[in-house]
Structures are given as C-alpha cells and as structure tokens.
Structure 1
Amino acid sequence: MVDVFGMALRDYQNGAYTEDIKTYSSLDEEDVIPIPYLFRTFDEMPKIEQKALQLANGKVLDVGAGAGGHALYLQKKGLEVTALDNSEGAITVCKQRGLKSTVLSNIMDYSGEKYDTLLLLMNGIGLAGKLNNLSHFLQHLASLLRPNGQILLDSSDIIYMFEQDEDGGYWIPNNEAYYGEVAFTMEYKGKKSKPFNWVYIDFNTLQNACESNGFNCELVISGEHYDYLAKLTLKK
C-alpha cells in the first residue's frame, strides 16, 4: 500500500515541498491538506488543540500523531509521550524531529502499555471508520487507560455540509448510514492511497456511545465551526 501521507510529510521535512495532498471524498468534495499546516507550532494551532494539550497529563499516547507537532510540544513540556501512527513516513518524520518514543502501528493493533492521557486530535475518533465500529473502538481505548486516565478528542458535526430546507431541517441522503461517515482517498504527486473510511461524530452521538460503553463524556469547549473538544473518563 502506498504511504501517500508519509511521502508528503517526508518531502516537507527534507525540504522537498512542492505540492499539497489532494483529498477526494464520498461527499463529492475535492479538497487539499496543506502540508505546512501539519507542521504547525502551538501558537498556530486552533484553540481546541491548544486546550487539549494544556489538559494532557502524565504518560501520554498521541494517536495518529502525523508529523508529531502535538507530541513534540508535550515532550518539551516534560511529559512522557509516545507518538503512534500507522504511516511509516509519519513515524520517520517524528523521529527526525526529535521524538524519543514512537510506535508504528494501527491503534486497534496496539496494546500492552497503559496511559494517563490518550490524545486523538484532528478528528482522531475518525479512526473508528464507521459509527457501528465506535463501541469496539472505545472499548479498545479503555483497555489502554490507567485507572484515572482520560481521552481527549476533537470532532465535528458535519451536518452543515448538507442542504437546509426553509424550516431549518437538513436534506440528508436516506441510505441508512450515519451522515458523518465519509470515504476518503488521498493523492500526492500522482500517487493515490486506497480509499479509507473516516467518521465525524456529533457530540450527542458521541455522548450516547460513551454512555453505553462505561465512559463519562464531557464537552470541554466548542470551536467556531461545528467542532468541539471532548474529555472521556471511565465511570467508577
């Protein structure tokens, strides 16, 4: 499988940045991921991410670490942090940038260690892929938590991407799937990734899933565009 994301990160890190990653989604949207944005500093991060990094404590696992910006910030703060990503290129870049502890793995295949904070930023909960995988995903995250541990995650309610009718309701395709489920393909320098599933979860849906999987779910802050930061802790 072509590691499109990792190729782009490596190019940027090695001074060969010439283009951004293109994304194609099942929402008929073509978009780009600006690669410099993936290397942003704390001051350049949205408030939601800054707040999550301020709340992170103890031993931290940064899930889907990408270029490692969040993990590097926490490492500089003196926290014991591990960057996990299933992109070989991303992990190479994390190491080049000075991260001491990295893991090349899919989160669902990773076990053994336990953490005080699991960080899933940039819609990290999207790694669940589909809504019907969410319970399994949350239970796996629970297995990685220390007794008083926390999960900090952000996501968005993408209802705004659907057309509204005159009385304020939304036109959502009635195909039985949850409207936050999206299939993506990434392209970089003419190479395409395999399509992958990604899910954006509105806060109420997340709260319900947490309730049925033994988690407390707290809304920490809401962002400017249907996005939010949530803190999950295991019920006593």
Structure 2
Amino acid sequence: MTDIIGTALLDYYHGKYTEDILTETNITEEDVMPLPYLFRSYAEMPQVEQKALDLSYGKTLDVGCGAGSHSLHLQEQELKVTAIDTSKGAVEVCKLRGVDYVEQIDLLELENKKFDTILLLMNGTGIFQKLEFVSKYLQKLKSLLTSKGQILIDSSDLKYLWDAAEDEGVFHSEANYYGELEFVMKYKGEESAPFSWIYLDETLFKKKCHENEFNFEIVHRGNHHDYLAKLTNE
C-alpha cells in the first residue's frame, strides 16, 4: 500500500520539502494539504485542537497521530501519551521527533489497554470511514476507556457544501448520508487508493453516541462548521 502521508512526512523532516500533498474527494476539487501544517506547534493549531489538548488528562491515547504534534505537546505537559498511526512513515517521524511511545497499529487492533483520554483530531470521526461502521468504532473506543475517562473528537458538518435548493431529506437520510466522502491523496507522482472518510454532523453523532451508551457534549465550536465533542460513559 502506498504510504503517501508517511513518505511526505519523512521528506519534510529530512529537509526534502519540495511540494505538498494534494487531496481530492468525490464532491470537491483538488486541494492542498501543506506539509508544514502537519508539524505545527500548539500556538499554530486551530482553537478546536488547542481546546482538546487543554482538556486532556491522565494516560492519553493519540489516535492517528501523524507527525506527532499533539503527542509532543502533551508530553511537554508531563502526560503519559501513547501515539498510534497506521502509517509506517508517520510512526518513524514521531520517533525521530521524540514521541516517547508510538506504535504502527490500527485502532481496532489495540487490545488490553485503558486510557483516561482518547484523542481523535483533524476530523477524528473520519477514522470511522462510513456511517455503518460508527458503532463498531465507538464500541472499540469504549473498551479502551477508563470508567471516568473521556474521548475528545472533532468533526465538521458538511451541509454547507451542498446546494441549499436540494431536498432537505438528503441531509438526514442515513442511507445516503452527505458526510460520507471518498478521498484520494497524491504526492510526488504517487496516488493513494481511494479511501472512505466520514464527517459527522452534531445531531447524527449525538444519536450514534447515545445508541452506544455514551454521553455526548459539545465543548467547543470552531469558525468553519467544525466542533469538538467530549464523549464519556453513561
């Protein structure tokens, strides 16, 4: 499998930065993901991420850690952080940058561990892939959470992308949910296979959380239809 993210992160870390990652979805045109942004400091992060880091406590799991920017900040706050990513290159960069514990593993494969805080940032709901898998992932997260722990996860409501004249019914039909996208990433002539990525609106996400016995609370709203949610055990 082509490790677009990992290759790009390693290039940037080793001073071989000549271009950015390009992303494209089934409903949007090609967009740029600037590599320097993936190495941002706390001061350079959007407020939704700063809020999540400020709320973090205890033994913390950073899911989809990327270049490790969130993990490194929390380590500076003397939190014990476990960082995980499916990208081999991302894990290597995290180690090079000084993340104390990082592992190349899929969230669903993580076993026999408990965390006080679980972070899923940069549209954390995307890892669920499709609406049909949301409950599966929420149950996995529940199994990794201490009884008094919290999940901090961000997402965006993509309703604004659609023509207001469209039938409102399309927006809340789980059979044809507007937040389900297909992504492709490109970097230096390489192209990833298409992959699914889901953006959950607040109402639907809250419904899914309640179905899986989670309390759902919005703890921050951003400036562009984005929000940070805190999930706790009921």
| TM-score bucket (shorter structure) | over 0.9
**Inter-partner Cα distance in structure 2 for 1:169 and 1:88:** 42
- After TM superposition, the score normalised by the length of structure 2 is 0.96
* 1:125 and 1:155 in contact (8 A); partners too: yes
**Inter-partner Cα distance in structure 1 for 2:151 and 2:131:** 18
Deviation at 1:165, TM superposition (A): 2.5
Deviation at 1:94, TM superposition (A): 0.3
- Structure 1 spans left out of the alignment, 5+ residues: none
Percentage identity across aligned positions?
A: 51
Letter in 1 for 2:212: N
Q: Equivalent residue of 1:219, what SS?
A: strand
| 2:121 counterpart of 1:121 | yes
Give the structure 1 partner of residue 69 of structure 2: 69
Give the structure 2 partner of residue 140 of structure 1: 140
Letter in 1 for 2:128: A
**Inter-partner Cα distance in structure 2 for 1:126 and 1:111:** 21
CA offsets, 1:154-184, max 9 Å, x none? 0000001111129x95976x89421000010
CA offsets, 1:38-72, max 9 Å, x none? 01100000111000000000000000000000000
Matches for 1:84-233 after TM superposition, within 5 Å: 84-165=84-165, 176-233=175-232
Give the structure 2 partner of residue 32 of structure 1: 32
Q: Equivalent residue of 1:113, what SS?
A: coil
Aligned alpha-carbon RMSD (Å): 1.8
Letter in 2 for 1:213: N
Letter in 2 for 1:20: D
* 1:164 and 1:171 in contact (8 A); partners too: no
| Runs (4+) off by over 3 Å | 168-172
Deviation at 1:32, TM superposition (A): 1.3
CA offsets, 1:81-135, max 9 Å, x none? 0110000000000000001100101111212211000000001111010011101
Deviation at 1:192, TM superposition (A): 0.8
**Inter-partner Cα distance in structure 2 for 1:90 and 1:65:** 8
Q: Which is richer in helix?
A: 2
Give the structure 2 partner of residue 21 of structure 1: 21
Aligned residues: 234
